[in-house]
Structure 1
């Protein structure tokens, strides 16, 4: 085998300009390794180089932030993932530091710059920007939880700087359904672990997602209209993370988590994030 020729082919395949920042350092190290291998005559050396390249994700795409972390990046920030396959990349915020990192953030509020009072189609496909406030999209969250088991963490902060969280060992959206939309993107969450916030989310488990233009809650009215958000409303909520961002709350319409601050306090920040369950 012409190892020199294979080296130049591989350089073309893993051009740093075409890679995410996650992989650039790893690529450089292994190109150097391959260059050193050119001094050898054993064809098996090439295989030994290609195997770690593939396992690091250089010859594939990361499914979620855990894959990004495992490929060598431990800095929180915006990364590209491919939950729906190589032709459908998405940008997400990855929390690589909290509680061991590897968290794929699917919901984030911190300054009120993005309007979360939106219709079904936008909640289905996602909106906002991964570097700021955003909603990843029901379909994407479903695809992720369809592929493997995930745990959920919800981090919260009030306007006085106090921080708490709630953690759940199991989180999924319509995990047995290929067409999750027909199932209403039903929430399944269990295994609560307290981090000071109390358990407000379990009340919403087994509920379908509701928006102002698709009412699927258990209330005789429309909870999304009454509380100005989109969520897995029951009758109606103990959690309203997608409510109106405000510095005060009127009738539970703000960004609420009942068992921490009641429904009459709107939080400064909240983020919902998932990672593969151990």
Structure 2
């Protein structure tokens, strides 16, 4: 087990003390390509023991009663950083993201980058918007209408292109976890 995996395991144990959690995304070595078609993101891909995406259909069903979302990053300096949101949902055929309730009372140790995508449709290279957001950025992620659409991008390919503005990359480990 790598140092980053051990740090993540400690965090995972901490948040599971009060109930179940569901990892919906995990990446740490680039062994799974995330530049994939819409159908892969609808279902699931990867290896649940290693790198994976749970699939938007399952993730959307898990967010029917809005859970807490943790966006977890381990920096190249092995620092654990995470953002916590009290309300997270994926809705409709485009998996429109609703994310708010960023925890500003000390629980979150990473900046709030995901709220800027609130209301955005999920895009892949083969199901993109007119802006070409996903195809141009080698990514699959939610639409963003501001100046820097790549503030946070955990699905980027190659793995070294993953971004979380305000944190020191390249990253050793990234994950999204929901807790009912």
TM-score normalised by the shorter chain: which range applies? 0.7 to 0.9
Partner of 2:118: 205
Q: Provide the secondary structure at the position in 2 that maps to 1:153.
A: strand
Partner of 1:114: 32
Whole-angstrom CA distance in 1 between matches of 2:85 and 2:54: 19
Partner of 1:103: 21
**CA displacement 1:126-170 (0-9 Å, x = unmatched):** 100110000001111111112x23110011011221111000000
Partner of 1:154: 71
Structure 2: unaligned runs, 5 residues or longer: 1-10
Count how many residue pairs are aligned between Structure 1 and Structure 2: 162
Partner of 1:58: none
Alpha-carbon contact 1:196-1:260 (below 8 Å) kept: no
Whole-angstrom CA distance in 2 between matches of 1:160 and 1:270: 14
Higher-strand-fraction structure: 2
Higher-helix-fraction structure: 1
Task: Return the structure number with greater relative CO, CA threshold 8 A, min gap 6.
Answer: 2
Whole-angstrom CA distance in 1 between matches of 2:122 and 2:173: 22
Partner of 1:275: 179
Aligned structure 1 segments of 4 or more residues deviating by more than 3 angstroms: none
Q: TM-score, normalised by structure 1?
A: 0.55
Structure 1: unaligned runs, 5 residues or longer: 1-94, 175-179, 248-253
- Greater Rg over alpha carbons, structure: 1
Which of 227, 234, 239 is matched with 2:152 structurally?
239
Q: Provide the secondary structure at the position in 2 that maps to 1:187.
A: strand
Whole-angstrom CA distance in 2 between matches of 1:168 and 1:259: 18
Q: TM-score, normalised by structure 2?
A: 0.83
Deviation at 1:96, TM superposition (A): 5.3
Which of 266, 270, 276 is matched with 2:170 structurally?
266
Root mean square deviation, CA, Å? 1.7
